[in-house]
Amino acid sequence: MKTTTMPIIGALESSLLIRRHPANPVLDAARVPYPTALVFNAGVAKLGGRYIMVFRNDYGSLEKQIIGPSHTTDLGIAFSDDGIHWTAGPKPVFKLCDEEIIRAYDPRLTVIDGRCYMCFAVDTQHGIRGGIAVTDDFESFDIVSLSTPDLRNMVLFPERIGGNYVRLERPFTVYSRGGVDRFDTWISESPDLIYWGRSGLLLAVEQVPFANDKIGPAAPPVKTNKGWLTTFHAVDIDPARGKNGWEPSWKKRYTAGIMLLDLDNPKKILGMSASPLLVPEADYETDGGFRNDVIFPGGMVLEEDGEVKIYYGAADTVECLATAHVDDLIRLCLEG
């Protein structure tokens, strides 16, 4: 199968409906009480009136702009009373590494029936797997299931729909889509969080005007009276971007999109913003990071007053917060 080259995406701007919080970044390596370098791509949930964040740690040195080997990556935890000011726990809380597993990373949190479930990616010697774990105390995590390769991003809906658990996911369809990046968002169901099926394509990269490389799930969906509101990440490549970070080569830009799914049938998209919700523009998103021009939402909290808190990793280096009103986001989806 031959995949045609998609056109270069030009300049983009964030929606006027979204506001970066003045406290950004809300968490970085300097506020973690153990040596780490990159604190980003966190999952966030609100449980019992308290905000919980599980974030990715990549070790190394910010000053020297180097990171440690992949097997050193683990997950840290932080707590907050207001969702803005965070206190990191004294030590990492989750790590997978053995002869087969290289690391676990990029957690996503969803509260279902009062329990906190965590989706995560797992690099192994034989491909990238998607994992689901559950915790009641945020000290121990029981692994519920691990997918076959290659499944990189997964997020769970916060309740059963039609009797089944539902997740959004992004398979790594490299060879079957022409040997280049062309990743899309899929949706699957499960009776028990272990066995998954009834899978279908939800949103393809060519359907997103601000992507020419790949898309995938971002923060887990939140329930509104109009539908399931959910973010997705959209990636475009431009060779002119050059190095653009610590890495020897980084020509991608990660933006955040938003869409609304049907409450009873989330395989149906009710609407999607034709332009990005959030684009790298602030200095902590565009300069000095491990990979500049990266925004990756991993957590979304809908407050009782209608405020939506969107937590996102910036430049693969720090964790940030942006806010909007739920009615504005729904209107953005439905009006395109």
Tally of domains within the chain: 1
Task: Classify residue 19: in a domain, yes or no.
Answer: no
User: What pLDDT was estimated at residue 4?
Assistant: 59
User: What pLDDT was estimated at residue 174?
Assistant: 80
User: What pLDDT was estimated at residue 103?
Assistant: 98
- Domain of residue 150 covers 24-335
Task: Classify residue 72: in a domain, yes or no.
Answer: yes
Task: Classify residue 244: in a domain, yes or no.
Answer: yes
What tokens does 229 get? 């509101």
User: What pLDDT was estimated at residue 219?
Assistant: 98
- pTM equals 0.97
Task: Classify residue 198: in a domain, yes or no.
Answer: yes
DSSP-derived pairing of the beta strands 307-314 and 50-58: unpaired
Task: Classify residue 201: in a domain, yes or no.
Answer: yes
Contact present, 53 and 80 (Cβ < 8 Å): yes
pLDDT, averaged in runs of 10, over the chain (336 residues)? 75 98 98 98 97 98 95 98 98 98 98 98 98 97 97 96 98 83 94 98 97 97 98 95 87 97 98 98 96 97 98 98 98 93
Q: In this predicted model, what pLDDT tens digit does every residue of 284-314 receive, in sequence order? A: 999 999 999 999 999 999 999 999 999 999 9
Task: Classify residue 4: in a domain, yes or no.
Answer: no
What CATH number should be reported for the domain holding residue 328? 2.115.10.20
User: What pLDDT was estimated at residue 247?
Assistant: 86
Task: Classify residue 221: in a domain, yes or no.
Answer: yes
Task: Classify residue 83: in a domain, yes or no.
Answer: yes
